[in-house]
Amino acid sequence: MPKKIAFVTDKGGLDDRIYERFGRAPTFTIVEVGDNGEILSIKVVENPGFKAGSGAGIKAVQKLIDEGVEIVIGPNPGPNAYLALQQAGIKSISMLGVTVREALERFLSGK
């Protein structure tokens, strides 16, 4: 079964670095990965939490839900986003200071 993994990003794309904030990140880079770790598709979506007046974490997680994301890789989520991710059943993995490509490789190699 292919998996949709979201990366918390600024401009988006495989060479962008993981953004430092979760709910207020400008974009999510959603990578669909096949059973053998091959990349099936890459999509950059705007995060509605970026411009939200309040509830950025919830709005960000809602976007991930609507996109069918199962795993999100980025900074530690804030308290609201954390609760929302739990409710949504989306797994959150902390990774910072790397590009999306590096983060994906690390994730796939199980590190």
Positions that interact with another protein (CB under 8 A): 49, 52-59, 61-62, 65, 68, 80, 83-84, 87-89
Q: Which residues pair with 15 in a beta bridge?
A: none
**Cβ atoms 70, 4 nearer than 8 A:** yes
Tokens of 48: 């509605």
In the complex, least distance from residue 68 CB atom to another protein, rounded to whole angstroms: 8
In the complex, what is the shortest distance from the CB of residue 41 to another protein, in angstroms, rounded to a whole number? Answer: 20
CA distance 20 to 64: 17
Nearer to another protein, 88 or 98 (CB): 88
Smallest distance, Å, CB 24 to another protein? 12
